[in-house]
Structure 1
Amino acid sequence: MEFHKNLLEYISQSLMTADETIAVAECVTSGCLQLALSQMPNAPLVYQGGMTAYTLPMKVKLLNVDKEEAEVCDCVSENIVETMALNVAKLYEADWSIATTGYCTPIRNSSYKIFAFFSFSYKGKIIYTNTLELHPKTQALNAQLYYTEFILGCFKTEINKNLEAKAKLGLKKNKDARIKVS
């Protein structure tokens, strides 16, 4: 399994430049994100670690997912993935986090669809959550790899937005400082 080298280099460099870290909580991607992030240049400087919490009891125990809610939705919902993202960031003391949950094979609980929820948190707040659906005949491993690549691409976009917002804030602070000095 080889992940897009430039994408991983970009993520690593961006996190290093900002002096920020990332952690991951996975279900449907079952370690693929952890594998990808471990392949980043200088991974030990920015990648705090991750976990695969595949079952309901483990999501409840390790990521503080609400048991009753998880039972109703088979652990697959926007709220569940957001809870996973927030709690893995706390657990690993990371600035950023990525969480995934969903299905890589069509089963009755998924209405015979293949889809994933994914969420990003930054500094204790959810900043992005989305769903990705694939063709129901997609092979399980291909689905997991596609989810991983797609999610990392979305993560790059969120890093860019964050860097742009910080740059604008920096410009505004500089302008405010010049006004006060005048």
Structure 2
Amino acid sequence: MEFPKILLDKISYNLRERNESISMAESVTSGFLQLAFSQMPSAEQFFKGGITAYTIEEKVKHLNIDFDEAQATNCVSRNISEMMALNIASLFDSDWSIATTGYATPVKESDNQIFAYYCIAYQGTIIRSDKIELHPLTKAFDAQKYFMEYILGCLRCEVKRNHSKITI
């Protein structure tokens, strides 16, 4: 798999220049984001790691997702992605965090649709949270790759902005 090198280089540069770190919690992207970050120049300076959790039980256990809400939504909702992002940042003590949840294949639980919720958080504040929808005939690998690239593009825009690091 090829990665968008210019995009990865810019994210790496901005995070290193800001001396900030990032972590991620993935479900629908199956570790694609973590793989992309491992390909960035000097990743060890800012990429703290991540968790790929598919099941409700693992999201509840490792990411502190509310069990009742997880069951009610099959662990796929905007709020779930936001909680995943906030909780992974806390777990890894990172400045930035990303979370994804959704469906890469059309199934009954998704009304036969392919979509992902994602969230980008900075310093404990959600700065971007949205839904990406794809055509239901999109192949799973292509959907996961598209979700990853789209989210990386969004992250690049956010780290480039002048989000000030909160100091106390």
- Which TM-score band applies after superposition, normalised by the shorter structure? over 0.9
Matches within 5 A, 1:1-16: 1-16=1-16
Larger radius of gyration: 1
Q: Secondary structure at the match of 1:132?
A: strand
Please state how far the C-alpha of 1:143 moved relative to its aligned partner. Answer: 0.3
CA distance in 1, matches of 2:3, 2:150: 11
Alignment partner, residue 56 of structure 1? 56
Matches within 5 A, 1:153-164: 153-161=153-161, 163=162
Alignment partner, residue 124 of structure 2? 124
CA distance in 1, matches of 2:157, 2:20: 16
Matched, 1:18 2:18: yes
Alignment partner, residue 148 of structure 1? 148
- Normalised by the length of structure 1, the TM-score is 0.89
Matched, 1:94 2:94: yes
How many pairs does the alignment contain?
164
Q: Which of the pair has the greater relative contact order for Cα pairs under 8 Å at 6+ separation?
A: 2
CA distance in 1, matches of 2:103, 2:86: 21
CA distance in 2, matches of 1:46, 1:129: 22
- CA deviation profile, 1:22-63 (whole Å, cap 9, x unmatched): 001000000000000010000000100011011000000000
Report percent identity of matched pairs: 52
- Normalised by the length of structure 2, the TM-score is 0.96
Alignment partner, residue 103 of structure 1? 103
Alignment partner, residue 76 of structure 1? 76
Identify, as 1 or 2, the structure richer in helix. 1
Amino acid at match of 1:66: D
Alignment partner, residue 29 of structure 2? 29
Cα-Cα RMSD? 0.8
Q: Secondary structure at the match of 1:30?
A: coil
Q: Secondary structure at the match of 1:131?
A: strand
Runs of 4+ in 1 over 2 A off after TM superposition: none
Q: Secondary structure at the match of 1:75?
A: coil
Structure 2 stretches lacking a partner, 5+ long: none
